[in-house]
């Protein structure tokens, strides 16, 4: 999978400089609420999802018999690679996921062209998948989907 600069930037959001709109560093003890009113400081420090943040409730599809290293995951889409840079028509999704296949709280799903949902879901939508875990082009673990569900 080719991860775009957008995914790398997305992963760095919580690790970057915490500055206010003027560019001045924000006081870490001052609550920094996001658009939903969730305190970003407590979220970043605890690395746990606040209860008010929605999470997909999709049940992942079953792993088909005979698929080695098969894993299942579901979550809320954080990022979608809509335009496939290598031209094979697949789609890549970064999920906020309890299964944490790729990293803490993150699972990357690679969906081949024949399984690609139409219309393509976007950030905030739910996605669930099952398939073998393989290394992506940057060495990250990701699910190579053989079954996909989209919804809530």
What's the pLDDT at 87?
78
d(CA 72, CA 10): 23
CB 93 within 8 A of CB 149: no
pLDDT beyond 70 at 150:
yes
Indicate whether 7 pLDDT > 80: no
Coil, strand or helix at 110: strand
User: For residue 152, what are the contacts with CB-CB under 8 A and spacing of at least 6?
Assistant: 56, 57, 58, 126
Beta bridge pairs of residue 144: 110
Which fold does the domain 70-151 belong to in CATH?
Answer: OB fold (Dihydrolipoamide Acetyltransferase, E2P) (2.40.50)
Cα Rg of the chain (Å, integer): 17
Which contiguous run of DSSP H or E holds residue 43? Answer: helix 40-46
In this predicted model, what pLDDT tens digit does every residue of 97-148 receive, in sequence order?
Answer: 999 999 999 999 999 999 999 999 999 999 999 999 999 888 999 999 999 9
| Of 137 and 22, more confident | 137
Per-domain residue ranges of the chain:
5-46, 70-151
* Distance separating alpha carbons of residues 56 and 49, to the nearest angstrom: 12
């Amino acid at each position: 999978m080719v991860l775009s600069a957008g995914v790398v930037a997305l992963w760095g959001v919580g690790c970057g400089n915490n500055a206010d709109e003027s560019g001045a560093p924000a006081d870490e003890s001052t609550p920094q609420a996001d658009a939903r009113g969730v305190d970003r400081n407590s979220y970043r420090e605890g690395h746990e999802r606040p209860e008010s943040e929605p999470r997909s409730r999709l049940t992942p599809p079953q792993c088909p018999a005979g698929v080695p290293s098969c894993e299942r995951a579901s979550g809320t889409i954080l990022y979608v690679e809509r335009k496939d840079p290598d031209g094979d028509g697949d789609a890549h999704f970064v999920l906020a996921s309890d299964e944490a296949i790729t990293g803490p709280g993150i699972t990357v799903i690679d969906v081949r062209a024949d399984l690609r949902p139409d219309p393509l879901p976007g950030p905030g939508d739910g996605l669930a998948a099952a398939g073998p875990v393989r290394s992506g082009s940057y060495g990250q673990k990701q699910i190579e989907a053989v079954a996909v569900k989209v919804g809530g």
